[in-house]
Chains A and B, each alone.
Chain A
Amino acid sequence: MSLFTLGIARGLLGQVLGMVIGMLLTCAVRILLGWEAWAAEPAWTVGAVCSIIGFLLGVGSLDDWLKWTKGIPTPLHHGPPVDKPAWTRYFSVDYNHKVIGVQYTVWGILLLMVGGTVAMIFRTELARSGLQFLGLDLYNSFIGMHGMIMIFAILLGVGGMANYLVPLMIGAEDMAFPRLNALGFWFNVPGSVLLLLSLFVGGWDAGWTAYPPLSARGPIGYQLFFLGVFAIGLSSIVGSLNLLVTLLRMRPEGMSLFRMPIFCWAVFATSLIQLTATQLIGTSFLMVSVQRALGMGFFDPRGILGEVSPMVGGGDPVLFQHLFWFYSHPAVYIFVLPGLGIVSELLPVFSRKPLFGYKWIALSSMAIAIVGFLVWGHHMFVSGYNDILRIPFMYATLLVAIPTGVKFFSWLGTIWGGKVHFDTPMLFVLGAISVFLIGGLTGPILATVPTDFPLHDSYFVVGHFHATMFGGFVFPFFAALYYWFPKVTGRMYNETLGKIHFFIMTPAFWVQTLGQMGVGVMGMRRRIADYDPTLGAGQIESWQLAVTIAGFAIAFGVMLMLWNFFQNAEVGAAAGDNPWRSRSPEWQIPSPVPEHSFPAPLHVVGEPYDYGLADAGYVTTASTGDD
C-alpha cells in the first residue's frame, strides 16, 4: 500500500504543489508587467491561497461536486473503503459523521499539544526575569502562535464533539450535508499547516489579535497566518450551517426543541454565532492582508506605514478592532457554550437526578449568544474610541453575568438531592464548574471601566481568560473525552489514571490562573518577554516560578490522559453499551456505534432527564408497526 492511498498525504502534496503553482503564477504576472520576477510577500500570499485549494483537490474533498458538474452521479458510500484497510478512512475523506467527529477531535488534540508545547517554552522563559534563551522577536511570535493554535484546537474540539454527538443525540442517520461536513473538516488541515509554516517565514509578532498598524508592517508570516485563519473560518461557517440544519430538520418524531438533549441547545447557540460572526474576523484579517499586499490603506491613518507598497493613508487602526472583536468576543462563547453544554449534559447522569431548570439552561445559552454580540467594545475601553461608548458596553457586558449565573445555580440545583457518583468524567465536570467559576467571577471587575483601567492588558486578563477557556472548554472537553471514550472505542479507560490526571491538573490549574491574576494586579503587563523583578515588592519571581511549575503539571496530566486513551483504545476492558446508565439515545445503541447508528427510526416518548422516575422512557427504536 503506497502512502498516497491516504487522502491526507495526497492533500499535503497538493498543498505543496498549489503553493509552487501560486508562486510561479505571481512571478509570471510580475514578468508580464515588466517588474522584477520575485517578490517574497506577493508570491507567498498567492501561493498560500492556491495551497488551500491544492490541498482540498488533493485530499479529494471536492471530488463529488466536480463530478456533479460533469453530470456523473456519486452515491454516498457507506462503510470503510473497499480495497483498503479500514483504519485508512480516518486519514482520508469520509462522509460518516462519526469518522469526521473523530478526525476533528484527534486533529484538535494534536494542535492542543503543539500549542501547549509552545506555551511550555515561553513559560520556562518566564520562570525567571531577564531573557534566558528566547529572543524578543521569537517570544513575541510564540505568544501569538500559542493563542491562535489553541483557538484552532478549541474550534476543532468543539467541531469534534458536535459532529460526533449531535446526530447520535437526535437519532439522525448522519448530518444533513455529509459532503459539506467533510469539507468543513478538511479546511482545517491546510489552515493549520499555513499557521505553523508562518513561523518559518518570519513569524508574526502582534499576538493572535494582530492589531494593525503593527500587523501591517511585520514579516511575511502575517500573510500565512491571515490565510490560515481564513481557512479555519470557512470551516466554522460550513460546519455551523450543517449543524443548524441538522438540528432543525432531522430530529425524530416527538423530539420537540425542549426535548433535545441539552448539549444540542448549546451546539445550536454556538452554531448561530459561528454562522453569523465568523465573517467579521475573516474580513478584518483579509483587509490587513490586502493592505499589505496591494497598498489599500484601510487601517493606515497617515500613509507612512507601508514597507511593501506605498500607501495613501486615510484609514483608521481603531476600525480594525471593531471588526475583529465583533467576531472575537462572540468567539469566546463559541468556545465555552458547548463545554457548558457538556457540564449540563453530564451532571444529571452522575447525580442521578433530572437537569434542574432545563428550559432556563437552554434559553440561557441563547441569551448568552445574543448578548454576546453586544459586548465587543469592552475589549476597547482604552482604545481611544468615543468615550461615551464605554458606558453601554459596560452595561451589556455585565448583563452576561445573569444567564451565566442561571447556569451555575441550575447546576447546583441538579446536584442538590441527587446521588452523586465521582467517576472521572464527573470529576472533570466539577473541575470545570470550579474553574469556570473563577473565570466568571473575575469578569465583572474587568467589565466596570474604572477597575478595568489598572487591569486592562495586564496579566490579570491572561489569568481571567485562561480560567474561562479551561473552565468552559478544556475541563468539559476532557470530561467528554473520558465520558464518550467507551462509546467511541467500546473499551474502558483506566479509572485510576483518570483520577490521578484530575487530581494533578485541577489544583495545578488553580495555582496557574490565580498566579497569573496575582502578577497582573502587581502591575505586570501581558505579552512581555521580560518583566520587572521588583514588582509586587519583589515577590513576582516566586509567583512566576509557581505558575511555570503548575503549567508543567498540567502538561503532565494531559500526557497521562493521552497515554490512558492510547493504551486502552484496543485492549481496555470491554465497556458495555451503557456504562454510565445514561438515558441519552447514543447510549441505547451498541459500543462502538455501528456504521448505521440506529437500526430503526427513533421515537421520543418522554423527557430526556427523567432520572428518579421509574419506567419513564425517553426514546424507543421499537417500530410502530405499519412503517
Chain B
Amino acid sequence: MAKNRRHFGIVTVLIVICTFVVYWVLDSVLLKPAAAVLEAGPIDYLFDLHIWLIAFLFALVAVFMCYALIVFRARGDEGDGEHIHGNGTLEIIWTVVPCFVVIYFAWISTTMLIDLSRPNPDEYVVNAEGRQWSWLFTYPESGAVTPDLVLPVDTPIRMDLTSDDVLHNFWVPEFRVKQDTVPGMVTHVRFTPTIIGDYVLRCAELCGTNHSGMLATVRVVSAEDFQLWQSEQLAQVQE
C-alpha cells in the first residue's frame, strides 16, 4: 500500500506536468482562422476550455498507462500479477465525477447556444440561396441581388438561407458559425462581423461535382462604405 502511495505521488506530478505540456503543444500547433465576428469570442473560449480538458484527460490516461507499463512490466518471470478483481468505490468515483464534468460542459454550452441564436431586433437581414455551385445574395432592404456577399461591420446580421437544388452549407471559417441550406425551407444563421476585410464563404456540405469550388467572396465594409454600396446597388436596380 505504501508502495502504491509512492507510485500515485509520482504519477500525479507527471500528470500535472504532462497536462501543461500537452496544452501548450496543442495551443501552439492548432492554427485557428482569425476571429472576425463577435460570436467567435464565446466559441473560442469554449474551444479553449475543451483543449484544457483534452490535455488533462490525455495526460491522466497516458501517464497512468505508460507508468504502469514500465513499473509493472514482466521482468522475465512467468508469474502472475496481483489477484485483484476490482474496486467498487473507484468505479463509482470514475462514473460520478465525469457525470458532473459533462453536465457542466453541457450546461455552459446550452446557455452559450441560447445566446448565440437569440434574435436581435436590430439585425440586418440578407437572403442567401445556394445552388450548384454558386451563391446568390438578395438584400430585402434594397432589392439588390449579388453573387458576392457585402456586409456592414459591427451590425448584427441574420442570414436567411435556402437552396435551389441540393443541400449546401454556409460557412466562413473566420465567422465560426455554420448552417446547412435546405431546399424547401429557410434556415437561419446569426453573427456580427467585427473586422473589416475580405473573407471566403465555403460551402461545407457535399453538393456534387464542384463542391470544393463553391466559394463566394464576403466583404465586410464600414457602415459608410456599406451605405454607399447599397445606394449604388439601388441605383442599378432602379435602372
Interface residues of A (CB under 8 A from B): 136-137, 140, 205-207, 211, 213-214, 217-218, 301-302, 305, 313, 316-318, 351-360, 382-384, 387, 390-391, 394-395, 398-399, 401-402, 405-406, 408-410, 412-413, 415-422, 430, 433-434, 437-438, 441-442, 444-445, 448-451, 453-454, 456-458, 518, 521-523, 525, 527-532, 535-537, 539, 581, 607, 609-613
How far, in Å, is A562 (CB) from chain B's closest CB?
28
A610 to B203, CA, bound (A): 56
In the complex, B121 has a CB within 8 A of chain A: no
Min CB gap A441→B, angstroms: 5
Residues A612 and B177 in contact, CB atoms below 8 Å apart: no
- CB contacts (< 8 Å) of B207 on chain A: these are 214
Name which of B58, B102, B110, B210 has the most chain A CB atoms within 10 A of its CB: B102
Any A CB within 8 A of the CB of B112: yes
Given A406-B94, A521-B31, A531-B212: A415 touches B72 (CB 8 Å cut-off): yes
A415 vs B212: C-alpha distance in the bound complex, in angstroms?
47
Q: A136-B210, A418-B82 in contact; A430/B32 too (CB < 8 A)?
A: no
Q: Are B65 and A433 in contact (CB under 8 A)?
A: yes
The 6 nearest A-B residue pairs measured at CB: A301-B184, A523-B173, A418-B81, A353-B81, A528-B212, A612-B83
- Say whether B165 contacts A213, CB under 8 Å: yes
* Selected interface stretch from B46-54, B136-144, B148-156, B231-239: B46-54
Which among B117, B167, B211 is the interface contact of A213 at CB below 8 angstroms? B167
Query: Judging by beta carbons under 8 Å apart, are A454 and B176 in contact?
Result: yes
Q: List 8 A-B contacts (CB under 8 A).
A: A360-B91, A384-B179, A406-B95, A409-B90, A441-B54, A449-B109, A522-B33, A581-B78
Instruction: Please tell me if the beta carbons of A444 and B167 are within 8 angstroms of each other in the complex.
Output: no
Docked CA distance A104–B45 (Å): 47
Q: Which of B61, B77, B85 contacts A437 (CB 8 A)?
A: B61
Chain A residues contacting B81 (CB-CB under 8 Å) are: 351-353, 417-419, 611-612
- List B contacts of A318 (CB < 8 A): 182, 185
Q: How far is the CA of A352 from the CA of B33 in the complex (A)?
A: 49
Q: Would A536 and B31 count as touching, CB distance under 8 A?
A: yes
* A442 and B47 alpha carbons, distance in the complex (Å): 11
- Contact A457–B109 (Cβ < 8 Å): no
- Total A-B Cβ pairs within 8 A: 264
Q: Mark B88-127, 1 if CB is under 8 A from A, else 0.
A: 0011001100110011011001101100110000000000
Contact indicator B33/A412 (Cβ below 8 Å): no
Question: Is B73 a contact partner of A420 (Cβ separation < 8 A)?
Answer: yes
**CB of B202 within 8 A of chain A?**
yes
> Is the CB–CB distance between A352 and B74 below 8 Å?
yes
Give the residues in chain A near B105, CB-CB below 8 Å: 398, 444, 448
Contact indicator B206/A458 (Cβ below 8 Å): no
Shortest beta-carbon distance, A403 to chain B, in Å? 8
**A382 and B176 in contact (CB under 8 A), knowing A418-B72, A419-B79?**
no
Q: Given that A211-B167, A450-B43, A518-B31 are known contacts, is A610 also in contact with B184, CB under 8 Å in the complex? A: no
Report the separation of the CA atoms of residues A382 and B188 in the bound assembly, to the nearest whole angstrom. Answer: 10
Q: Which residues of chain A are near B47, meaning CB under 8 Å?
A: 445, 451, 454
In contact, B113 and A450 (Cβ under 8 angstroms):
yes
**Interchain CB contact under 8 A, B167 and A391:** no
Verify A530–B113 contact, CB threshold 8 A: no
In contact, B184 and A302 (Cβ under 8 angstroms):
yes
CB of A448 within 8 A of CB of B210, answer: no
Contact B209 A451 (CB under 8 A): no
Which residues from A are CB-within-8-Å of B30?
Answer: 518, 521
- Is A612's CB under 8 angstroms from B99's CB? no
- Residue among B65, B98, B110, B204 making CB contact with A430, cutoff 8 Å: B65
Per the bound structure, the CA–CA distance linking A609 and B183 in Å amounts to 57
User: Complex: how many Å from CA A623 to CA B172?
Assistant: 72
Question: Which A residues are in CB contact (< 8 Å) with B18?
Answer: none
Q: How far is the CA of A437 from the CA of B56 in the complex (A)?
A: 12
Kindly name the residue among B43, B183, B184 whose own CB sees the greatest number of chain A CB atoms within 10 A: B184
Asked whether A317 lies within 8 Å of B204 as measured between CB atoms, the reply is no
B197 at the A interface (CB under 8 A): no
With the chains together, A20 CA to B83 CA distance in Å?
Answer: 64
A83 to B65, CA, bound (A): 54
Find out whether the CB atom of B102 lies under 8 angstroms from the CB atom of A217: no
Chain B residues with CB under 8 Å of A421's CB are 74
B16 within 8 A of A: no
Residue among A406, A437, A613 making CB contact with B58, cutoff 8 Å: A437
